[in-house]
Amino acid sequence: MKRSLLIVIGLIAISVFLLSAGSIITQPESRFPEKEISIALRNVGHRLLLHAGDSTSRVLPVKQLTEYNYLLEFQTPFAFVPDSLVNIVQQSLKATSLSLDYVVNVLACGSQEIVYGFQIGNQKQTTLVPCLGREQPEGCYVINLSFLQADSSQKKSYLFALALVSLVTIGFVGRAYPKNKNVILNQSSAALIGKFEFYADLRKLRLGKLSVDLSDKESQLLKLFVQQINQPVAREVLMKEVWQDNGALISRSLDVFVSRLRKKLKDDPTIQLQNVHGVGYKLVVAPS
C-alpha cells in the first residue's frame, strides 16, 4: 500500500513538473535582439579590418535580410585568415544575450560564391569549422550570418504527452490500488480454499498479507472448482462454462489456465489441482 501511494505521489509530481515546463516553453519568446546583433556584427567588421592592417576603411551599415539573417559589407577589399574570423565572430556574439546556433558564410561580392563558411553550435557535434590556417587572398567580400532557430514545438508536444500519460497512469493506479483495499476485500464475500480466501467478484486470492490477482478466466475456473471441491469436474463442463466452446484450441487453453492456477495456489501445500485422467480436473483440499 505504501509503495502504491509513493508511486501515485511521484507521478503527480512528475505531471506537475512537465505541465509547468510545457507552459514555460509555450510562453512567447523574447524579442529577437536586432540592435545587439547589429552592434556585434559591426564589431566583427571593425576587428577584421584591423587584423588585415586596415584602420581607415569603413564598415558599411549592417543589413537585416530577415529576422534571423544578416549581411555585413565593407567599403574596400581585404584579406582574412579563417582562424581569426571564427574567433572574432565567436567573441563578438558571446557579448550578446542570444544563445542560438549560427552559420557564417563569406561570399565574393560579384559572383556571390561562398569562399568560406562555418557553423557554431552549443554542442561539439554541431560545430563545423573547416579549412583553418589557410589565408584567403585580398578581395571584395560580404559576410552573411544566419541564426538557426530552435524548434521547441517537438519539445512542447513531448512534455505535454508525458504529462498526459502520467495523469492517465495516476487514474489507473488510483483505481487499481484503492485507499483501503483490505476494507473492500473484507466487505466482499470470500470462499475459503484451504488457507486461501477467494474473492471471486474481485478476482483475488488472499493468504495472510499475500494478495494474488487472478485473470477473469482463472477466477471463473476456480469458482467452478470451489463449487465442487474434492469432486472431479469434466473438461467439457469447464470449457462450456468459461469459454462457451469445446474446440481443440480451447481445450489447450484450459490446460494453460489450470497450470497458472496451480502456481498461484502453491503457497498452500494442502491444496492440489489434480488431473483426472479421461475426465477433467479436481480441486483437492486436505483437512487442516
C-alpha closest to that of 82 among 132, 46, 119: 132
DSSP 32: P
Q: Pairing between strand 280-285 and 78-80? A: unpaired
Q: Does the model's pTM come out above 0.85? A: no
Q: Per-residue pLDDT averaged across 196-213, rounded?
A: 91
Q: Burial, 72: exposed, middle or buried (Cβ in 10 Å; 0-12, 13-18, 19+)? A: buried
pLDDT at 96 over 50: yes
The pLDDT of residue 180 is 45
Q: Per-residue pLDDT averaged across 168-176, rounded?
A: 57
The pLDDT of residue 67 is 81
The pLDDT of residue 222 is 93
In 10 A of CB 150, how many CB atoms?
12
The pLDDT of residue 28 is 45
Gap between the Cα atoms of 145 and 65, Å rounded: 10
C-alpha closest to that of 170 among 32, 37, 10, 3: 10
C-alpha closest to that of 37 among 138, 127, 143: 143
Q: Per-residue pLDDT averaged across 108-120, rounded?
A: 86
Cα dihedral angle (231, 232, 234, 237), rounded to 10 degrees? 30
Percent of the chain residues past pLDDT 70, beyond the cut: 69
- Tabulate helix, strand, coil % of the chain (nearest 5): 45, 25, 30
Poorest-pLDDT segment among 28-37, 96-105, 111-120: 28-37
Q: Per-residue pLDDT averaged across 263-283, rounded?
A: 92
Residue 202, all three cell numbers = 474481485
pLDDT at 244 over 70: yes
Kindly list the distances between the CA atom of residue 163 and the CA atoms of 9, 24, 153, 166, 173, in Å, as whole numbers in the listed order: 14, 14, 15, 5, 15
- What's the mean pLDDT when you consider all of the chain? 79
Poorest-pLDDT segment among 33-47, 136-150, 177-191, 206-220: 177-191
pLDDT at 80 over 70: yes
Domains and CATH numbers, the chain: 1-177 (no CATH), 188-285 (1.10.10.10)
| Cβ partners under 8 Å of residue 40, min gap 6 | 92, 93, 95, 96
**Maximum average pLDDT range among 23-27, 48-52, 262-266:** 262-266
